Structure 1
Amino acid sequence: MELKRRDKSSFLIFLNYKRHILSYYGGINIKKYQKISIFLGILILILLSYFIVFPFLLVGPPEPLFYINNNDLQSHEVTVEVFDSHNETIFIEKYELDPEEHIAQPKSLWLLLRWSMPWSKGKYTYWAEGEYEFKAILDDEIVDTCRTLPHSWSSVVIDIDKTDNSNSPMSIGVVTV
């Protein structure tokens, strides 16, 4: 019985000591901690918006994944296939283009997020890891490819022009803002 009373009395002494220390140092100021946590939350939001929003304010909206320009006088069928750096197909689409028709394929949200993740592999980049290959097939006959390191503000341009005196009726290249 005396042992329980002793434990209880030592616990009460500890509580009194704790109250004494807290009252001596002014106690715990919850409002101060709330202000600090709100400040840190706002700071984190500002930093995140800097890495995500600032590039778009500086350079503008992202460019399309690719453009197809049919500058020829007849209709054409173009198949575009995009391979990532691991040679996996991430995009494949077939287009029917009339004469003087132009197509701009926007980048998917998934690609934009994938190419603009802060601190990917220890560094901050706005571009993909490794080269991507863009393969264009004109009328199921002519194949042309382009390898590039894509990012939000670069596009592959596929031009079709059989009236041009070049060797190939199709040219493919990269445009960067």
Structure 2
Amino acid sequence: MKNRKKIALIGAFILLLLLAVLFIVGPYLIVGPPSPLFTAINYETEVHDIRVEVFDSGNDSVLDETYELTPLKRISHPKPFRFLVPPGIGDEDYTFKVTLEDGFTETYSTKVSTWTNVEIVVYGEEDQPISISEPRGH
């Protein structure tokens, strides 16, 4: 009788482990690695400093970093662990606030999940020097 309980307990543990692998690791094996939190590229001919701030739906800061973008340089920031949960579990609205060194600021709100990212583009347009969007197909 003791042996049966032990086998049942081991079987339940193995089943739980397999389910965890299926639902947590499985999507990464099927879809691939997570996309970055954001990418930024400078299409201008001069160097720009950009400050990227990310806030969650409670307006708490998730990220506050400043980057130097040389012409045609593309940078990306990996997603923190909190964004790497399987799709649909941790999706909530986040606000991206991007500020150029001259003080021009643009904001963009979206749901962030494992395989979505935000693209920040800096151009020389005087009235709209920053564009923030999600790449097509996401």
Q: TM-score, normalised by structure 2?
A: 0.90
1:142 is aligned to 2:104: yes
Give matches, 1:1-177, under 5 Å: 29-112=1-84, 116=85, 125-129=88-92, 131-162=93-124, 167-175=127-135, 177=138
The alignment covers a number of residue pairs equal to: 137
Q: Structure 1: which 4+ aligned runs deviate by more than 2 Å?
A: 124-129
Percentage of matched positions with identical amino acids: 36
8 A contact 1:126–1:152 mirrored in 2: no
- Return the alpha-carbon distance in structure 2 between the equivalents of residues 80 and 46 of structure 1: 39
8 A contact 1:127–1:149 mirrored in 2: no
Task: Quote how far apart the aligned CAs of 1:98 are.
Answer: 1.1
* 3-state secondary structure, aligned to 1:157: strand
Q: Which has the larger radius of gyration?
A: 1
Higher RCO, Cα 8 Å, sep 6+? 2
RMSD, matched Cα: 1.8
Letter in 2 for 1:93: E
- Return the alpha-carbon distance in structure 2 between the equivalents of residues 144 and 80 of structure 1: 10
Q: Identify, as 1 or 2, the structure richer in strand.
A: 2
For each residue in 1:27-57, what CA deviation from the matched residue of structure 2 results, as whole angstroms up to 9, or x when unmatched?
Answer: xx22222211111110000111111111111
Q: Identify, as 1 or 2, the structure richer in helix.
A: 1
* 3-state secondary structure, aligned to 2:134: strand
8 A contact 2:83–2:112 mirrored in 1: no
Question: Alpha carbons of 1:71 and 1:126: their partners in 2 closer, same or farther (altered >3 Å)?
Answer: farther
Task: Quote how far apart the aligned CAs of 1:97 are.
Answer: 1.2
